[in-house]
Each structure stands twice: as structure tokens, then as C-alpha cells.
Structure 1
Amino acid sequence: MSEKKISEIQKEYKETSELLLPDFIEEYINDGRPGVSKIIGMAQKRMEKLRIERERIEHLKEFENQYWPEFDYIGGIDEVGRGPLAGPVVTACVVLPKDCSILYINDSKKLSASKRDELYEIIMKEAVSVGIGVCSEQRIDEINILQATYEAMRQAISECSVEPQVLLNDAVTIPEVKIKQVPIIKGDAKSISIGAASIIAKVTRDRMMVEYDNIYPEYHFASNKGYGSAEHIEALKKYGPCPIHRRSFIGNFV
């Protein structure tokens, strides 16, 4: 039996990283005290969740694994912000290493804001290359949202420090791009590279909209991110459009 108090073991468990869980379990599994057994049970459940998550991530590499034997640099591309009434459309192109083991990557819409922020930092640190493209609301009005999205995607590709050899795209084929493209329906939930791109694009755009909220607080951009929430539409009708509103999107409200 360990000489440590159960409260000390509980604190140690909370501070134990995922990587060191097996060592923690091995150290205390024969302790014998009911309180410690309960903690070990929690650690084992956590280990099982990790096993399931690792299997999910391996499955998420299905498309990448088709091309990694031949190519070193596979870029995942996604966009955020096609539907809002205000603000830019933002895209990202992410090239992950072949030995990528980042857990919890998923379609950004399925993740909490705090988890997206956490993964953003990890992806930016571990990716081979990240390119970000931004197309303004003025440009959206000028050439339409689809063409603006394509333009932002081309910008994201060009911003990569390493040019991708293959592009995995979320559902689209980007015009004027000579690199091999593989469009994948709902790709942000099927490809680890596209999922990573969706997180980078989402966090980048959300942070931009929070900054715009400081400039135009009456529209509540920090909470609605430019989308047509009830409070946003009410403010739009009351105050009229601000400089970052998409004139081609707001005709029904002003």
C-alpha cells in the first residue's frame, strides 16, 4: 500500500498527462484502498477513451494514407464564413507531417471554442506548413461569395512555406490551381488535414470578429461572428450597415 494520502494520489492523477497514464496505473493498481481503486478506475476509463480517440484519428488519415506513400506534402483546405452577413471569408491550407499524432482534430463546428483554441496552437506548432487566405466583404460583394472563397483558397495555398503536392479539399475543386485536387464531401469530418484546416480557419476568423466587436460593439460580433442572429439583425435594422457588412447579403434587412 502506498504511504501517500488518497487526496495526494487524486491530485497526482489530475496532473498526470495522457502519455504517463500507464505508469500512474501501474504504480497504484495494487494499492488496495477503495478510494485509490476508484481513482484507478477513472484512469483506466480515460485510457480507454484515449484508445478509441487514437483509432478515430488513424481512420481520419484514410485519404492522406492513399497519397503519403508517393507524396510528402498533402495540403488540407477548408473555409469558414461563407454564410455570415458581415466580415470576411477565411480559408486555411494545412500540411501535416506523415507521423502526425494530434488527437481530437475534427470538423471545427463539432468542437468547443476552448478546444479549437487549444488545437489551433498545437497545429500551428506541429504542422509542416500553414497558409491562411482572407477575402474581404468588399471583395465578396464585388465577385460573389463562391468566387471570393476560391480566391481566398488560392491565397492560402500560396501562403504555405512548402507547396502541397496534393490538395484535399472540403467538397470543392478550386479553379486556376494546377496542383492535383481531391474534393471530399464533408471532408472536415473525414480527413485529418481538412479538419486541421477548418480549425485554423475558424479560430482565425473568430478572432477577427472579436476584434471587429471592439470597433462596432452595437452588432455583437463577438458572440454572433457576423452570422444573422436575432440580435444582429435587430441591430442592423436599427443602426444600418457598418463598413464590414456584406451589402450583397443584407438586402432583406435594410
Structure 2
Amino acid sequence: MNIKELDQLLNNLSIEALKEELKAYEIDTRSGVIKLIDKYKRKIQTYENELALWQLKCEFDSIFHDNQYILVGIDEVGRGPLAGPVVAAAVILPYDTNLVGLKDSKKLTEPKREKLYDQIQSNALGIGIGIVDADRIDEINILQATFEAMRHALSELKIDYDRVLVDGDKVIPKIQIRQEAIIGGDDKSASIAAASVIAKVTRDRMMKAYANTYDKYDWENNKGYGSQKHYEAIRNYGITPLHRKSFLKNEGIF
């Protein structure tokens, strides 16, 4: 087997199968094979590191569900942009879900987020999405709009739940179910990390779609945040119905 063929073989193996297959080539002295073995040993180590981090997230959640309560993780994305909605997601995961590599959505590449989004959709027991648009943000302010999006996300869940983990330092007003505010929750909790990815991918897709209509503002890249190109477009072309006037007033633009 030549080096290219071996690389293709190893690349298609599961981690456990890869561990066994590498043993058969450790006596091969070809420099290309030695490099491949090193490459795939690093892949195995990366996976095992990610698995350990995932298990820690699951253990964190188990403190709150204790294998008997239905736990919801909730997170939002879009508090800071100049345009577009704030989006919240609520996610219920099975106790034994395996989503290795899942973490705070901001720390994932876009392809990895998209892949995990599909995995979460396939594995979650329940997913709810809450969206609050720019006009409503201007009307009630971004904090209250965030809480409104979170309440709507929870209302979209199709099964009952017992506990809610909220990313951040505040619980959600007007919710009677027991809640815990978790600072840095998207790096600590499996369910909050899942909600982070669902919210992020949902909003990013919305902003890319909006960019087709409002093509001067570079939303496909900045997702509505205050990048240099975004500010320049506002100055050159004015604002759109998707801009948050209260945010632009704070920036001295509106």
C-alpha cells in the first residue's frame, strides 16, 4: 500500500479502529508512514482531550439533573450587534449524549458549528428557538429583549422540564421553574453549549439571508456587528429596517 492509499484508509477509520490499525504500521520504516503515524496519533490525542472535556460538561450538568430531572440549557446570541435580532435557544439533551468537541460556539469554526448543529438536532430531546427583532429591542432594551427571547425559546419546547441552566449571571424573570445562572456556562455545561451552537447557527443563517437583500453592509461576514465595513456602509447608505436605532444612537450615528 502506498502512502496516499494508507492516508485515505486511516482517515476513514473510527478512533477505536484507528488505534488498532496504527499498531500494524509501527514497524514500517518508510519516512512517509512514520509521518502518517505521527499525524494520526495527534488526531487520537486531540479526540481524547475533547472527550475528556465533554465528559466534564456532562458531569457538570449531572449536578443539576441527578439522572432524574429534565434539564434545559439556554443561551443567546446577538446582544451586541448593530443590526438583526437577538436569538435564544433552549436545548434538552439525553443524559448519555455523545457530542465530543461541543463547546462555546464562539470558539468553534463555522464548519464545526454547522456539523455540531446537525448532531444536536439529531440527538436532542427538545429544542426551542426565541427570536426578538430590532424594533422590539429598541422598544424594551436589549436585556429585556434577551429575556423575552429566552422565555419564547422555553415555550417552544414540546416536553416538560424541571431545571433550567442559563448562561450568564442572571436568571430569566417570570419563569417559575427552578433556574441556575451559570457564568461562562457555555464552557461548563453540555446543555448550555448545545444551546449556544443552536442559537449561533440560527442567527448567522438569518444574517446571511438578510445580506442578500441588504448587500451593502457585509452582514454575511460581520453578522450585524459593528465592523469597519458595517459602519462605513451606514454612513454611506443610511440604516435599514433591521438596524437597532437605540444602538446607533449610543454610537452617535443616529
Q: How does 1:54-93 map to 2 (within 5 A)?
A: 54-93=51-90
State the secondary structure of the residue aligned to 2:11. Answer: helix
Q: Cα 1:236–1:193, aligned 2, differ >3 Å: closer, same or farther? A: same
State the identity %. 45
Q: Show the counterpart of 2:165.
A: 168
Instruction: Give 2:135's match in structure 1, choosing from 123, 138, 153.
Output: 138
- Preserved CA contact (<8 Å) 2:84 2:243: yes
Q: Show the counterpart of 1:217.
A: 215
Unaligned runs of 5+ in 2: none
- Preserved CA contact (<8 Å) 2:89 2:195: yes
State the secondary structure of the residue aligned to 1:182. Answer: strand
1:18 Cα deviation after fit: 2.9
TM-score normalized with structure 1 length: 0.93
Q: Show the counterpart of 2:97.
A: 100
1:70 Cα deviation after fit: 4.7
For 1:207-226, what per-residue CA distance to the aligned partner results, in whole angstroms no more than 9, with x for missing partners?
00001000111111111111
- Preserved CA contact (<8 Å) 1:85 1:246: yes
Write the letter of the residue equivalent to 1:194: I
State the secondary structure of the residue aligned to 2:75. Answer: strand
Q: Show the counterpart of 1:198.
A: 196
1:6 Cα deviation after fit: 3.1
Unaligned runs of 5+ in 1: none
- Preserved CA contact (<8 Å) 2:134 2:242: yes
- Preserved CA contact (<8 Å) 1:105 1:196: yes
Instruction: Give 1:186's match in structure 2, choosing from 164, 177, 184.
Output: 184
For 1:19-70, what per-residue CA distance to the aligned partner results, in whole angstroms no more than 9, with x for missing partners?
4312322443344544333322322222122211111111122321112325
Q: Distance in 2 between matches of 1:225 and 1:10?
A: 38
Q: Distance in 1 between matches of 2:166 and 2:80?
A: 18
Q: Distance in 1 between matches of 2:199 and 2:229?
A: 25
Q: Show the counterpart of 1:248.
A: 246
TM-score normalized with structure 2 length: 0.93
Q: Distance in 1 between matches of 2:66 and 2:147?
A: 28
Q: Distance in 1 between matches of 2:206 and 2:132?
A: 13
Q: Distance in 2 between matches of 1:27 and 1:98?
A: 36
Q: Show the counterpart of 2:229.
A: 231
- Preserved CA contact (<8 Å) 1:71 1:166: no
- Preserved CA contact (<8 Å) 2:67 2:95: no
For 1:103-129, what per-residue CA distance to the aligned partner results, in whole angstroms no more than 9, with x for missing partners?
111111111111111111111111111
Write the letter of the residue equivalent to 1:98: Y
Write the letter of the residue equivalent to 1:89: V
Q: Distance in 1 between matches of 2:197 and 2:119?
A: 11
- Preserved CA contact (<8 Å) 2:74 2:167: yes
- Preserved CA contact (<8 Å) 1:233 1:253: no
2:116 is the counterpart of 1:119: yes
- Preserved CA contact (<8 Å) 2:84 2:133: yes
Write the letter of the residue equivalent to 1:119: L
Write the letter of the residue equivalent to 1:196: A
2:138 is the counterpart of 1:154: no
Displacement over 6 Å in runs of 4+: none
Q: Distance in 2 between matches of 1:9 and 1:79?
A: 44
Q: Distance in 2 between matches of 1:161 and 1:26?
A: 48
Instruction: Give 1:9's match in structure 2, choosing from 6, 9, 13.
Output: 6
Write the letter of the residue equivalent to 1:38: K
